[in-house]
Structure 1
Amino acid sequence: MHSLRLRALALGATAALGLGLTTTATAAPTTAQADTTATAWKPSENSKLNKVATPRLSWFSCYGGARCANAKVPLDYDKPAGTKTNVAVLRLPATGKRIGTLFVNPGGPGGSSTEMAYFADQWLSPEVRAKFDVVGVDPRGVGFSDHVQCLPVEDQDTVFSKVSSAFPVGWTQEQRWIQGMKKISRACSTNALATSMSTAEVARDMEMVRRAIGDGPLSYLGFSYGSHLGTTYANMFPGNFRSIVIDGTLSPTSWSGTAWNQSLPLERRLRSGVGAHKALDKILTECGKAGPDRCSFATGGDPKKKYAAMTASLKKEPAVITDPYTGEEMTLTYADLVGTVLSGLYDPEAPMLVDFMLSDIEWMIGQSQGAAARRAGGHQVDQRTITAIKQADQAPRRAFAYDNSLDAFLSVTCTDSRETTKIADYPAYAKQQETKAPGFGPLWLWGSAGCAGDSFTGQDEDAYVGPYDKVSPKGVLIVGNYWDPATNYDGAVQTRNTLGRSRLISSDSWGHTAYGVSQCVTTRVDRYLVSGASPSSDATCPAESEPFPATEEPVEETVQQLLATKSLPKAARGQGFPAPTVVR
């Protein structure tokens, strides 16, 4: 992904319920308890979609081994004969005796589902690949579907220059950030596609594609923000799915807002910064226990005290460091440090990655300050540290002439989220978040500042904002990772307590999401997808490796890490998606 800030946006916001108060994960209710409080299902969404003609999918061979199609769906499902929008669909055939179709979504909002489906062989278990065709539907406005564009091309660089750091620090930067976010969010508020991009619309589109494929009830696997799509679909169409798995789970009531929490900014409701701070605190604690032989940052003192001193110093004055590979001088700010550390926390090997990042930064700062660090001699800076620092303040760029990643993020997030805040109050919120979760709280807060009530005013009238406790014939399988720095584990617990019928797998693993990283999680998810039978009880998956092992063992990439380096290959004319139509 482009800048570190937008990497955070693209991987989704985070999760936990509650009026800005700290919440504690509690035991989930029994099925009986959940069902007695759940809301009875009324098939209103099916009735609405029954009035819409099922799109015809004209499949064609694409990208070598896949099948592609474009589906025309109503921009507004209340007007089925009105303006249409195009959504791109990619289908990868099952490798064995198929039992159905598995829909996938990588999160974001703004991630490409067609790319995720295309690369399924690289992240999905062979057992699941054998049984399912894998289908990705690029959400409206995203990927190869019609593109949302809120700003004129000539204005984009100017606006992005105001919001290109990990997060703003100080009055001047904050005011620039507010100006930039206002500009783009207000432009999105008047874009017809942007104001029709709520998760509910994406769920309706996915349902129309499911009907067009004609393959029976939906099977679905969604990550990060894709968890909210799964939760929303389960409540809008509770009788239409066979199996839904959500990993890196968002609390739906925190994401969409309620009458009692809409006066709070999105990050206060989701508490992703708290999750990231918790993960870093755990790593620094374990680093101290492991000692210098296994954790380099423990050399010379308590890792927690050393990190606190480093952040305090950078808050006072940025450091000028040198890229040892190119000789280029770089300015390292407090925001750069936090953004760099957050990128490390996304990794399944987060303890070791954060260790060498902090050790590298400590050494480079020392080199710039004089002889004390020079005596350390042969320290080898990892290239990943340099890359992460440089990405922390880069303006985003995609393959298209206009990068619509921020447009797409705001169009989905802000049409979903009910928020009555004022963007001028965000500096005060940032101070509060700095106290709750130093660095990470402000980073996540400012990322969604465009959703302030007086900034984004184009909420989708057909957005789904609950209730989220509909009873469904089949259960949803929820995955939550204790140390996830983006989707706070509390969100998985809250979702388990809310959904009418569900089960929770809790994973003691590092990084963002757990499928493909924890073998325990992967095995349980695969079993549920293939069998279609909900687990009889919740489960806990223990840690499968030490934070700082004596000998390094290979760890799989998360699904998001793999997809961040992938894109659909170039295709001959007629064997790939056409350039998406841009909706200005």
Structure 2
Amino acid sequence: MKNVRTRLLALTATAGLALSLGSVTASAAPTPAAPTKATTTTSTTTSTEDAKLDKVATPRLGWFSCYGGAECATVKLPLDYDNPKGAKTNVAVLRQKATGKRIGTLFVNPGGPGGSSTEMAYAAGQWLSPEVREKFDVVGVDPRGIGFSDQVQCLPVERQDEVMKDLRVAFPVGTTEQRRFITATEKVTRACSKNSLATSMSTAEVARDMEMVRRALGSDKLSYIGFSYGSHLGTTYANMFPKNFRSLVIDGVLSPTAWSGTRSTQSSPLEERLRSGRGASKALDKILRECGKVGPSRCGYAEGGDPRAKFAALTAELKKKPVEVTDPFEGGTFTLTYADVIGTLLGTLYDPEAPSMVDFTLTDIESMIEASEAPQSRTATSQRTTLHREVVAELKKDRTAPRRGFVYDNSLDAFLSVTCTDSRETTRIDDFPAYATKSDAAAPHFGPAWLWSSAGCAGDAFTGQDEDAYVGPYNRVTPKGVLVVGNYWDPATNYDGAVRTRSILGRSRLISSDSWGHTAYGVSACVTQRVDSYLLRGISPRIDATCPAETEMFPDWGAQSAPESVPQLLERTSLPKGKGKGFPAPTVVR
């Protein structure tokens, strides 16, 4: 296979940083459920939200050249739109001008919650089709509290390491780890619940900020593409401002009712509603089944027995006792835990070549364990594989390592501030060990991983709510259609989320993709062509569509690699330092 090293560099499974979800079947490629006819609601919210924003002076965008070719601006917007003359928050905006004759402005969001939209807009040439770049200015608005907007900071700098040390696991396993995880989570959420910015970071507030920037740019209706959590921002905007957009694409889709919760579901934790773990679990099961079918000539992990049976034995042993293994590259030993293996595998499932990535990872793990048990022997397993440095690094990774170059890593603060102001929950954080047991039964291995990522949203943990959060309805009739993209084997945003969103949102259309990894634009040529056509023409498809698989699950070694996904590309993207004037250091809000 081509570019294996590049693929393995993209292994990422930091719990909660790409929250999005869906359930799939693990046999043949699933057939999309027929969308049910939703009872739609007339757009009474439009006048309410537009009227609210009409009371706010449209900001002036003081553009300046930045980062060697882009344009940047920072605008002050109300912390609370009900009090437009009150406290303000600074929001960062970056624009890349169209490369040809412009037809509009395309707003972008990478998801998270916690991803930087300004970085995504800066990198537009790496992931957007040239035809779209030619016709659109690309604009990224960093959500409030995130990126180069004012930074939310819930803990004092000197307390972060002390609190975070008990969160530096993919997810907690066992009574002791779970109790420490809960205690540390409560310290963060209690601090966030008292932070004025953290409690004003709901998706609705970000949608209002985006609408204010759209107004500041002129008369164009909004065009938008959002990935993963960015799908919820798109769905929310479409329902709050249904008459204000020209084209809106959501890829890697969260069910909005599952994300926000309803009166009947708010007593359930977020993962139980979103079913991310079920999507990941069934994707892995499909891979292991097919690995067994093609055999060791195509899938190395099939050597020595049925891959599903081998994986079951591996995880059962690691649950009982971690294994001390030798780092073949750096020397020394490290402890390999059950959570390390599951967290690493979740990262591999994000890749468009997930089947091969899973094969490499499990074969490497098997080799290291065999070497630790018989260090003087050369087993068949250790002879047949070349260990990958990136797999070893991922297994050893600090799961809460800072993701940006700021002194204080606010990624967890940002994730909780958005997610927990959106999600209505009456759960108790002390009940999460019991929820984890239930989640593991419904979605083996990955259910608990996703469950613990949002434990801070328990009703008695994050108590600082945003009274202006939007929690539905999500069935507004939109004059223009919304294009929904769902990937059958997405391990984060369950395909079921796309189906449910399509069934709710008026005038939406669904593209279902039989592809691997997280999100489909840029990976499936069929999806990419349909999304580009929709963006360029501004006309939604008349009917739903299905895009077939375009690559083999276990291709021959040396075959052309599938393209990287947009989330993978953005993992390595940051605004360049020392390349022209840039954003000032963001103000920290404690």
| One-letter amino acid of the structure 1 residue matched with residue 72 of structure 2 | C
Alignment of 1:204-243 (within 5 A): 204-243=208-247
Tell me the distance in 2 between the aligned counterparts of 1:233 and 1:283.
36
Would the alpha carbon gap of residues 4 and 407 (structure 1) be closer, same or farther in structure 2, given more than 3 Å must change?
Answer: farther
Query: CA deviation digits over 1:133-192, x for unaligned, max 9?
Result: 000000000000000000001110011111110010110000000001100011100100
Q: How does 1:290-439 map to 2 (within 5 A)?
A: 290-370=294-374, 374-376=378-380, 377-378=382-383, 379-391=385-397, 393=399, 395-396=401-402, 398-439=404-445
**Aligned with 1:209: secondary structure?**
helix
Q: Distance in 1 between matches of 2:259 and 2:10?
A: 23
- Any conservation in 1 of the 2:20–2:252 contact (CA below 8 Å)? no
State the alpha-carbon separation in 1 of the partners of residues 126 and 377 from structure 2: 43
Q: TM-score scaled to structure 1, two decimals?
A: 0.96
Whole-Å separation in 1 of the counterparts to 2:177 and 2:15: 19
Q: Establish whether residue 252 from structure 1 lines up as the match of residue 256 from structure 2.
A: yes
Q: How far has the Cα of 1:3 moved from its partner?
A: 13
Question: How far 1:414 sits from its partner (Å)?
Answer: 0.1
Residue 509 in 1 paired to residue 515 in 2?
yes
Match of 1:446 among 440, 443, 452: 452
Secondary structure at 2:313's aligned position in 1?
Answer: helix
Q: Following superposition of structure 1 onto structure 2, how do residues 72-221 of structure 1 map, counting pairs within 5 Å? A: 72-221=76-225
Looking at structure 1, the residues matched to 446 and 10 of structure 2 have their Cα atoms a distance apart, in angstroms, of: 16
**Structure 2: which amino acid aligns with 1:499?**
L
Task: Tell me what 1:9 maps to.
Answer: 16
Does the aligned pair in 2 maintain the 1:249–1:492 contact within 8 Å?
Answer: yes
- What residue is the counterpart of 1:38 in the other structure? 40
- AA aligned opposite 1:154: E
Post-superposition offset of 1:395: 4.1
Residues 1:531 and 1:3: Cα distance change in structure 2 (over 3 Å)? closer
Instruction: Tell me which moved more, 393-402 or 149-158.
Output: 393-402
Residue 566 of structure 1, aligned match among 551, 566, 573: 573
CA contact (8 A) 1:336 1:392 kept: no
Q: Is this contact kept in 2: 1:320–1:368, CA < 8 A?
A: yes
Output one character per residue of 1:1-21: Cα deviation in whole Å (capped at 9) or x when no partner.
x9988734221232469xxxx
Taking structure 2 as the reference length, the TM-score comes to 0.95
Counterpart Cα distance in 1 of 2:194 and 2:165: 22
Give the Cα separation in 2 of the matches to 1:132 and 1:3.
29
Contact 2:12/2:347 (CA < 8 Å) preserved in 1? no
For residues 538-557 of structure 1, the aligned pairs below 5 Å read 538-551=544-557, 552-557=559-564
For 1:457 and 1:338, the matched residues in 2 are separated by: 31
The 3-state SS of whatever aligns with 1:87 is: strand
Post-superposition offset of 1:554: 1.6
Is 1:279 aligned to 2:277, yes or no? no
The runs of 5 or more residues in structure 2 that have no matched partner are 1-8, 25-29
| Cα gap change, 1:421 to 1:515, in 2 (>3 Å) | same
How many Å apart are 1:572 and its aligned residue?
6.1
Distance 2:396 2:33 in 1: 40
Q: Contact 2:234/2:248 (CA < 8 Å) preserved in 1?
A: yes
Aligned with 1:456 (options 438, 442, 462) = 462
Give the superposition deviation at 1:579. 0.2
Label 1:146 to 1:394 Cα distance change in 2 as closer, same or farther (>3 A). Answer: closer
SS in structure 1 of the partner of residue 308 of structure 2 = helix
- CA contact 1:508–1:541 (8 Å) conserved in 2: yes
Provide the rounded CA distance (Å) in 1 between the counterparts of 2:337 and 2:375: 22
Indicate conservation of the 8 Å contact 1:267/1:445, yes or no. yes
Seen in structure 2, the aligned counterparts of structure 1 residues 203 and 15 have a Cα distance that, compared at 3 Å, is farther
Q: In 1, Cα distance between the equivalents of 2:192 and 2:31?
A: 36
**Contact 1:257 / 1:465 at 8 angstroms: preserved in 2?**
yes
Deviations 1:82-121 (A, max 9, x none): 1110100000011111101000000000000000000000
Identity percentage of aligned residues: 68
Partner of 1:26: 33
Mapped partners of 2:245, 2:456: distance in 1 = 34
* Equivalent-residue separation in structure 1 for 2:86 and 2:400 (angstroms): 40
Q: Quote how far apart the aligned CAs of 1:487 are.
A: 0.3
2:23–2:279: 8 Å Cα contact kept in structure 1? no
State how far apart, in whole Å, the 1-side matches of 2:328 and 2:255 are.
Answer: 43
CA distance in 2, matches of 1:6, 1:293: 28
1:374 aligns to what SS in structure 2?
coil
1:426-452: CA deviation from partner (whole Å, max 9, x where unpaired): 000001111111221101000100000
Q: Equivalents in 2 of 1:289, 1:369: separation in Å?
A: 29
- Cα deviation for residue 254 of structure 1 reads 0.3
Aligned partner of residue 221 in structure 1, secondary structure = strand
User: What amino acid is the match of 1:375?
Assistant: T
Q: What are the Cα deviations for residues 360-381 of structure 1, in whole angstroms up to 9, with x where unaligned? A: 0001001001169623253310
- Is the 1:101–1:215 Cα contact (8 Å) retained in structure 2? no
Assess if the C-alpha contact under 8 Å between 1:15 and 1:255 holds in 2: no
Residue 50 (1) aligns with residue 57 (2): no
- Alpha-carbon distance in 2 for matches of 1:401, 1:372: 45
* Residues 193-216 of structure 1, C-alpha deviations (whole Å, 9 max, x = no match): 000000000000000000000141
Q: Which residues of structure 1 form unaligned runs of 5+?
A: 18-22
Match of 2:6 in 1: none
**Aligned Cα RMSD in Å?**
1.9
**Contact kept in structure 1, 2:228 and 2:519, CA below 8 Å:** yes
Do 1:477 and 1:505's aligned partners in 2 also have CA atoms closer than 8 Å?
yes
- Confirm or deny: 8 A CA contact 2:351 2:516 kept in the other structure: yes
Residue 330 (structure 1) shift: 1.2
1:443-522 correspondence runs (5 A): 443-522=449-528
Runs (4+) of structure 1 exceeding 6 A deviation are 2-6
Does the aligned pair in 2 maintain the 1:4–1:339 contact within 8 Å?
no
- How many residue pairs get aligned? The number is 573
Q: Aligned partner of 1:262: which letter?
A: Q
